[in-house]
Structure 1
Amino acid sequence: MIHYQNQREASLLQRSTERLDIDLLVLPDTNLILIASVIEPLRGANRIAGSELYRWRLLTPDGAPVPTTSAIAIPAEGSFKATAEETPLFVLASYNWRCSATPALKMQLSQAARHRPIIAGIESGTWLLAEASLLDGLRATVHWEDYEDFALAYPEVGAVKDRFVIDGKRLTTSGSLPTVDLMLEVIRQRQGYSLALEVSRLFRYEQPSFHVDEPLSAASAGLRMHDPRVTQAVRLMEEHIEQPLVLARLARRVGISARHLQDLFQQSIGAPPHVHYLALRLNAARRKVIETTASFADIAAATGFNSASAFARSYRASFSESPSETRRRLRRRITPT
């Protein structure tokens, strides 16, 4: 669920090529996987883009290493202070969050909200934001096990059962994998669907059957496609990169109408078929730009574009640079053919 109150408040989630710095306030007894759910999508975006799109800093309440539920201490780069920082703040918590909800920390969070453009409650971090009255009058989500208790404890907050919620300057998530969803949404909003799709390939949400010989396809590995018709359509897209199928034929191969397929895509992955298909083709093209010395005309033809100029326009619109700029910037990664 995404809910924007106004464009100004959501400005950090708009298209940008500028680096985004994020402060992570990690509280004791946080899950390692929750920390990774925030950091790893950002790291993946940096690696795939070949540039530092995101930078993060780990903070703790007192600046000391913080113990996690795995008994592994996470070193801090500093202590959290209510200074006039204008960096987005993510508050991460899993268990025993009440031990950290001291009057001093709640006051610091309230003071930080005067300057921080965005404050996020990650999993149980939502409780901390509610305790500091930072979610009053807003929609927010929590872990499903805590939903009833949270709704009763904070009637002034619009508790909802969603994976993540963006309401104005506040972001909240309901668990580790929903946090990955949120970070992919941040990447999609800032750098576009193509990069978010490539980053999603780094994560596998669904465990394939032990009896299935064919592994998940590369592009669908990171997507939670619960409808087999969407999965089948994506496989067909992957098999027809050079000669793309029109929507009507794609739907016919799946056995449903074009309109029904569009609805299923929107419900399943949050994007219409043509957007997903174009992202698959552009990502395939970008890999060829980086990993080969093929001409851009050949790359355009191999990824279903009618001309090199049409390819270049779509490429720039998606990646905010031309194919030649990508190749020059990442020429150290090009392998001879």
Structure 2
Amino acid sequence: MAGTRWFVPKDVWPSSGKSKRELGPALESKGMLNASPPGNSRRELDTARRLGFVLLPQFSLLTLSAAWEGFRLANSQTGAATYVCQTVGVTGREVRSSNDIIVKTDKEVADDPSFDITFVISSLNSAEFRDQRLEVWLQAQAAKGKLLAPIGSAAVLLARIGLLNGYRCVTHWKHHEQFLERFPRVRLSRGLYCVDRERLTAAGGLSALDLGLSIISRGLGSTLAKQVADEALLARLRSDNEAQRMDTKIRYEVTEPRLIRALEMMEANLERPLSLTQIASASAVSERQLERLFAKYMKKRPLKVYSEIRLQYARELVKSTTESISRIAAACGFSDGSHLCRQYRAAFGEPPTLTRQKSSESGHSAASEDN
């Protein structure tokens, strides 16, 4: 059958001695026969088998595990080393993760390794990581037409050195607004993952597994991808354009539709805050009704909640970026840095500079203990 792909477990092939055609019924009964060829994806992605995982300092172990595990499970399902995965260090072969677990890598960037797909694994705290040797090596891989897959905030690194110009990509939702401002030549999407020609991106965390399942589906068929997802206890394959964040009603524990709409309007308008009149109008209620809804369900006034949302976002930017306080203030709708600092101290009991210092120290404390 033209286009048929066979996924054969160890207990069926090759020990049985039968041909693949003879094994068709047995495979079909095991759910291992997929008669549908993959879609119209690039040949490079269809045949990608050698995978490299570059670990930036303070990388997310969750993201690495999610990115890696789908391919390991695919190998287990097929009974063969279909995907060969290796880790790569940047400045050495021991890399400390964001939760202080040290991973000894297979290779270093200095070894000039070559892969079909190079994943770059970071964390929110390593968005501004810089290393000239790594950047030159990534640019060389791009020049060779290799597939590059920055995960999470690693998209910031590739965008900064021009490797995402003209491409669609995703990054973690906490970086969206700054990313749009800094990299106007990159076409930012807001979904879980994105595949655009030689660039593959995922928002971080578990979305790295979603991207991996997409790669498996394109290369070896959707049946295998579904089996991998099933073994990983995923109820379904998530599409690339699904939302990164929980539903508003879950995060705020509210079910009133008009209140949910108001909260969504607040979250979508941080840099240029809306007036109470505008929020009420968008929520199809009067200002007085809006006040009552917030008082009933959140025990706060709407503009108080709005201020808390903006301050919490500012706190995340202080901790995970190197942007100046004045730029963070502008991104979060405060008139200037002084205005933000006053509100910030009142909300969190410390100035933003101290928050940033603590975040930086916690990220490097383990390394300093070794010295």
Taking structure 1 as the reference length, the TM-score comes to: 0.56
Listed as ranges, the matches of 1:1-337 within 5 Å are 10-14=42-46, 20-81=49-110, 83=112, 85-98=114-127, 100-205=129-234, 221-223=235-237
Q: Could you tell me how far 1:31 is from its partner in structure 2?
A: 1.3
Q: Could you tell me how far 1:105 is from its partner in structure 2?
A: 2.6
Q: Call closer, same or farther: CA 1:196–1:74 in 2, change over 3 Å.
A: same
Matches of 1:56 and 1:67 in 2, distance apart?
Answer: 19
Find the residue that maps to 1:74 and give its secondary structure: strand
Q: Which has the larger radius of gyration?
A: 2
For the 8 Å contact 1:21–1:54, the answer to whether it is kept is yes
Q: Could you tell me how far 1:55 is from its partner in structure 2?
A: 0.8
Deviation string, structure 1 residues 194-241 (Cα, Å, up to 9, x no partner): 100000012235xxxxxxxxxxxxxxx354599xxxxxxxxxxxxxxx
**Count of matched residue pairs:** 202
For the 8 Å contact 1:58–1:78, the answer to whether it is kept is yes
Find the residue that maps to 1:66 and give its secondary structure: strand
Taking structure 2 as the reference length, the TM-score comes to: 0.51
Q: Could you tell me how far 1:131 is from its partner in structure 2?
A: 1.4
Q: Could you tell me how far 1:177 is from its partner in structure 2?
A: 1.7
For the 8 Å contact 1:107–1:132, the answer to whether it is kept is no
Q: Call closer, same or farther: CA 1:82–1:127 in 2, change over 3 Å.
A: farther
For the 8 Å contact 1:83–1:112, the answer to whether it is kept is no
Q: Call closer, same or farther: CA 1:13–1:111 in 2, change over 3 Å.
A: closer
Q: Call closer, same or farther: CA 1:68–1:172 in 2, change over 3 Å.
A: same
The one-letter code sitting in structure 1 at the alignment partner of 2:195 is I
Q: Which blocks of at least 5 consecutive residues in structure 1 are unaligned?
A: 1-6, 206-220, 227-337
Matches of 1:40 and 1:91 in 2, distance apart?
Answer: 15
Q: Could you tell me how far 1:10 is from its partner in structure 2?
A: 2.1
For the 8 Å contact 1:25–1:92, the answer to whether it is kept is yes
Q: Call closer, same or farther: CA 1:59–1:86 in 2, change over 3 Å.
A: closer
Find the residue that maps to 2:68 and give its secondary structure: helix
Alpha-carbon RMSD across the aligned residues, in angstroms, is 2.4
For the 8 Å contact 1:84–1:115, the answer to whether it is kept is no
Q: Call closer, same or farther: CA 1:85–1:223 in 2, change over 3 Å.
A: closer
Matches of 1:181 and 1:84 in 2, distance apart?
Answer: 25
For the 8 Å contact 2:45–2:219, the answer to whether it is kept is yes
For the 8 Å contact 1:87–1:116, the answer to whether it is kept is no
Q: Could you tell me how far 1:182 is from its partner in structure 2?
A: 0.6
Deviation string, structure 1 residues 27-66 (Cα, Å, up to 9, x no partner): 0111111000111000000001111110111001123211
The one-letter code sitting in structure 2 at the alignment partner of 1:13 is L
For the 8 Å contact 1:13–1:190, the answer to whether it is kept is yes
For the 8 Å contact 2:95–2:103, the answer to whether it is kept is yes
